[in-house]
């Protein structure tokens, strides 16, 4: 998710789940080729496994960007063919590429040739007036023929005309059945589900019939839910940590980031929802929102905030 799942967010989420595959925010191929590669692609080794999500529509540039991503150590390259943002449409990539499955296939083939790690695609079930039955099959057939290792499907049409990206999160309705039918049609291909899943527990039933489930905003807004992910992947796995462990780990991480020239708020902005739904959650949000932007704020602020809400947590 652009501007959301940066390296600090991913390190934070990794403290909550050791098994989940994490995704970067979408990075445009030309930014990688011509920009600050270390800033755009650098990540902490603790984040593994982590996939680099690319945006673009030029096969040659995408192949070059994918190769750079592999050299940085990413575990997977994912091509985004599902984002409906205006910024994305203006660059002729994202969801509008659902209209050009042959081009998407060319891009996947070029990336497969350039890297040895898996290449996957994230798409919609269709865009605008497309028939989802035909559109999704056409896209899937093109990328499978090109050698894609898997397809992540956001089970909602993208409307590129007449709806804002925010409105498109609710309209038109989700169609999980369409994703299930794709899996039935392609039993040997990885097919994962995305879209509208508000909690980890809501994802569990789909793991019996699909190969994976992707959480976006739900994981960001209620990150503590990720504590249950590892047990879904392996029933013999207990929680990776408790929330206090996570806070202490993030305090140490924040201090390392500050020592390298960063700011505390760059880390804590992803953590305001950590105690969502628990006693003390409002106070936790207040402390992080009001104090993390202060010039000399350090990771100690996280410990102070935890100490302040601990009585409420203990009472609960």
List active site positions.
83
- The CA-based dihedral angle spanning residues 197, 202, 205, 206, taken in that order and rounded to the nearest 10 degrees: 10
Q: Where are the beta strands (DSSP E) in 45-189?
A: 50-55, 76-81, 119-124, 150-154
Q: How far apart are CA 286 and CA 187, in angstroms?
A: 48
Task: For strands 27-28 and 22-23, give the pairing.
Answer: unpaired
Secondary structure class of 79 (helix, strand, coil): strand
Residues 238, 231 contacting (CB under 8 angstroms): yes
Secondary structure class of 191 (helix, strand, coil): strand
H/E element, 193: strand 190-194
Q: How far apart are CA 210 and CA 255, in angstroms?
A: 40
Secondary structure class of 47 (helix, strand, coil): helix
Two tokens, residue 24 = 């970067």
Classify residue 24 by its DSSP letter: P
Q: How far apart are CA 132 and CA 81, in angstroms?
A: 14
Among 81, 158, 176, smallest CA distance to 119 is for 81
40 to each of 25, 54, 115, how far by Cα in Å?
10, 11, 19
Two tokens, residue 34 = 């011509």
Among 77, 147, 81, 80, smallest CA distance to 118 is for 77
Among 265, 178, 238, 206, smallest CA distance to 215 is for 206
């Amino acid at each position: 998710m652009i501007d959301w799942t940066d390296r600090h967010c991913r390190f934070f989420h990794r403290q909550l789940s050791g098994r989940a595959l994490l995704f970067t925010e979408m990075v445009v191929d030309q930014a990688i080729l011509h920009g600050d590669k270390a800033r755009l692609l650098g990540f902490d080794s603790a984040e593994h496994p982590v996939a680099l999500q690319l945006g673009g529509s030029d096969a040659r540039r995408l192949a070059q960007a994918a190769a750079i991503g592999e050299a940085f150590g990413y575990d997977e390259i994912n091509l985004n063919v599902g984002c409906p943002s205006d910024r994305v449409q203006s660059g002729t990539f994202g969801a509008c590429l659902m209209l050009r499955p042959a081009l998407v296939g060319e891009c996947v083939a070029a990336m497969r040739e350039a890297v040895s790690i898996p290449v996957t695609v994230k798409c919609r079930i269709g865009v605008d007036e497309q028939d989802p039955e035909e559109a999704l099959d056409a896209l899937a057939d093109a990328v499978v023929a090109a050698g894609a290792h898997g397809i992540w499907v956001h089970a909602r049409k993208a409307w590129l005309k007449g709806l804002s990206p925010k409105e498109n999160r609710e309209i038109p309705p989700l169609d999980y059945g369409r994703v299930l039918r794709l899996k039935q049609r392609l039993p040997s291909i990885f097919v994962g589900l995305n879209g509208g899943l508000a909690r980890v527990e809501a994802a569990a039933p789909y793991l019996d019939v699909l190969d994976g489930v992707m959480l976006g905003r739900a994981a960001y807004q209620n990150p503590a839910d990720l504590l249950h992910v590892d047990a879904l992947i392996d029933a013999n796995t207990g929680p990776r940590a408790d929330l206090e462990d996570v806070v202490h780990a993030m305090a140490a991480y924040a201090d390392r980031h500050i020592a390298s020239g960063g700011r505390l708020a760059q880390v804590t902005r992803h953590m305001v929802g950590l105690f969502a739904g628990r006693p003390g959650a409002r106070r936790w949000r207040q402390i992080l929102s009001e104090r993390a932007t202060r010039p000399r704020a350090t990771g100690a602020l996280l410990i102070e905030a935890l100490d302040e809400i601990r009585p409420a947590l203990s009472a609960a």
